[in-house]
Amino acid sequence: MDATTRQRILDAVDAGFAAQLEFTADMVRFPSMRGHEAAMQQFMADQLTARGYSVDHWKIDVGDIKDMRGFAPVEFVDYAEAFNVVGTLTPREVKGRSLIINGHIDVVPPCDETRWTTPPFEPRIEGGRMYGRGAGDMKSGLAAGIYAIEALKSAGFRPAAPVYLQSVVEEECTGNGALACIQRGYKADGALVPEPFGASIMRAEVGLIWACIDIEGDPQHASAAFKNVGANALEKAIHIWPFMKRLEAEWNARKVDHPVYKDHPHPIRVNLGKLSGGDWVSSVPAKARMELRIGVLEGEDLAKIRQEIADRLAEACAADPYLAEHPAKLTFHGFMADGYVLQPGSDIEAAMGTAHQAVFGEPVTSTISSAVTDARFFGLYQDTPSLVYGATCGLPHGIDEYVELDSLQQVTRVYALFIAEWCGLEAI
Ligand SMILES: [Zn+2]
């Protein structure tokens, strides 16, 4: 790419940035939490259609994907609103390498709406940041991918290879949205997942399992409990938790043998994400449910890890006289994710490195994550090098989540040059 073309593209990104932010804000206004994604995906389908993509908009059918590698079990939820949208741009003549740009539009709940400075689904720009649930993770990333291509168009070009813009659901709970794109037949020479982990190439991500533990108590009148009659399901959950939490330290200790994670301070986290039970203050809770997010070191066999979780729960139950007789029930009800490493030396990393250097004036670095993204699907199950690189997000999944606008603009510039480099350009 000559210097004039490069400058034209960068100027086009800057000129379109205000519109990009408006579009991002429109996305953030949708409270697209799990089970409430359909309206947002209709919006995405309309937006991509208006921008000249040929759009595939479909409802995910668990039956289509349940036997595929990478499938995560779906329990306790229905997929009535689980739609995917893929917009395809096709050149007149294919000269470059095709690209998937994959982002998720599902967001996690706001934690506690009352503690946000302004409501989570009313985006606010202040002090160089956009605040809102999903502003960082990762609606701004998906919007940046779209606006990088819009910038190429305003500069008079389009990608000289097919681009598949994937707007998916289920990233925050299973990954089945990205998996459904694979089932649908989408494949490319490379994939970009614009998650907001910063302008650095994510070298590795951990695996992840969601586990649900159901405990049945013995509901008797609370005043009888002192006679050792009945069993309080919530108290039994509290008994079980330290056994499960111990897995975190044990599995982190295994990192010493890992080629990538040995340098990470604390890759594995076991999080008690939800604890529920009881229906009346003066009754002994009849049931309790604990839901755990369990990190898995990259390279571990998920079947083996599931067995370790089951064994640990059995140990906890055996240590309590009531639970020994009435063991808790274990269900895997979401994430069943393998870890993923992007091996150094890929062409896609080189292309991103060139684009990063042109914008930031320094070589791109890499990072190792204790989180999970949809990048694994392309890398592990399609043999497609898959790259995570994005803007800087603050407080993802927290209160007052935001994206740094300066980083977002720089990263959009990088995306535009990267797409030009990877796909090549053809004049419109
Ligand atoms: Zn995300």
Q: Each residue of 120-157: pLDDT tens digit?
A: 999 999 999 999 999 999 999 999 999 999 999 999 99
Give the number of residues written for the chain.
428
**pLDDT over threshold 80, residue 227:** no
**pLDDT over threshold 70, residue 384:** yes
CA distance readout (Å), 406 to 313, 341, 345, 389: 47, 28, 29, 15
Pairing outcome for strands 201-205 and 366-368: parallel
Say how many Å lie between the CA of residue 218 and the centre of ligand 1.
Answer: 40
pLDDT band with cut points at 50, 70 and 90 for residue 177: very high
Say how many Å lie between the CA of residue 137 and the centre of ligand 1.
Answer: 4
Whole-number pLDDT of residue 334: 97
* The residue to which tokens 């009535």 are assigned: 80
How many Å apart are CA 66 and CA 74, to the nearest integer? 9
How many Å apart are CA 107 and CA 136, to the nearest integer? 10
Phi-psi region of 157 (alpha: psi -120 to 50; beta: other; left: phi over 0): beta
pLDDT band with cut points at 50, 70 and 90 for residue 226: low
Say how many Å lie between the CA of residue 230 and the centre of ligand 1.
Answer: 43
In whole numbers, what is the pLDDT of the chain averaged over residues? 96
Burial class (CB in 10 A: 0-12, 13-18, 19+), 58: middle
**pLDDT over threshold 90, residue 228:** no
Say how many Å lie between the CA of residue 156 and the centre of ligand 1.
Answer: 32
Bigger pLDDT: 224 vs 340: 340
| Contact in structure between 88 and 376 (CB atoms under 8 Å) | no
Token pair, residue 101, equals 């740009």
- State the fold for domain 208-337: Alpha-Beta Plaits (3.30.70)
Whole-number pLDDT of residue 1: 87
Residues of the chain with CATH 3.40.630.10: 3-205+339-427
Residues of the chain with CATH 3.30.70.360: 208-337
The closest alpha carbon to 117, from 398, 393, 392, belongs to 398
Cross-sheet strand order for the sheet of 201-205? 340-341, 201-205, 366-368
Find the mean pLDDT for residues 289-312: 97
**pLDDT over threshold 90, residue 230:** no
Say how many Å lie between the CA of residue 219 and the centre of ligand 1.
Answer: 41
Alpha-carbon Rg for the chain in angstroms: 23
CATH of span 3-205+339-427? 3.40.630.10
